[in-house]
Chains A and B, each alone.
Chain A
Amino acid sequence: DQQVKQNSPSLSVQEGRISILNCDYTNSMFDYFLWYKKYPAEGPTFLISISSIKDKNEDGRFTVFLNKSAKHLSLHIVPSQPGDSAVYFCAASGVGSSNTGKLIFGQGTTLQVKP
């Protein structure tokens, strides 16, 4: 019963091009979505987030889009750089006050940006 899914385990992109990472969720009660980035042998680091009342949030080269009707979000990286090569986790939260701080993670997508 995986509520957050990243169906593409890996993605390879040429440097300078756009990287698009996708995420689907099943629980319409989620009210906050996040992307984390993880390098090998390190913990995940927060990248960007979006509230369910918005459909887009931009931070430099990173933009997250939210389509609530489709229960889908995506992370766009433009332009992609070799240093962006990492595992990207989508996460969701907000189901009830008792779950404050509980993030539901997808299984991650490994992005490789080729020079």
Chain B
Amino acid sequence: DTAVSQTPKYLVTQMGNDKSIKCEQNLGHDTMYWYKQDSKKFLKIMFSYNNKELIINETVPNRFSPKSPDKAHLNLHINSLELGDSAVYFCASGRRRDHEKLFFGSGTQLSVL
């Protein structure tokens, strides 16, 4: 009964491949997010969706494409993976009226070789 679950937990792949990370939340929240934690440990927002509508899109390469089939899911697809994409990616959800109190998934460690 995990609140925010993302899969896979670990992802090791070669440069140039395309991969997806899935995220699901069962909290009934209306807003979902993708954050990236880089090698310096900073957590930076990538995307935010509210009721399936994109509301935040930071300066992220267009190789990254989020997809939200419904309010409970926000998947991240990455094309043509590069070495610099190696990081931990966290999915999160929250209520827009209470947007600061986010619930995070356990993260996906992506390693691009």
Binding site for B on A (CB under 8 A): 2, 32, 34, 36, 41-46, 49, 87, 89, 91, 93, 98-103, 105-108
Contact = CB atoms under 8 A, between A and B. Distances in A.
Contact of B40 (A36, A89, A107): A107
A2, A89, A100 pick with most chain B CB within 10 angstroms: A100
Given A44-B102, A100-B96, 7 more contacts: A34-B100, A45-B104, A46-B103, A49-B101, A101-B56, A101-B99, A107-B41
A36 to B, nearest CB: 8
Contacts of B107: 41-43
Nearest to A105: B43
Contacts, number: 66
A2 B104 contact: no
Contacts of A107: 40-42
Contacts of B103: 43, 45-46
Nearest to A100: B99
B104 A44 contact: yes
Contact of A42 (B94, B99, B106): B106
Contacts of A49: 100-101
A103 B45 contact: yes
A101 B94 contact: yes
A56 to B, nearest CB: 18
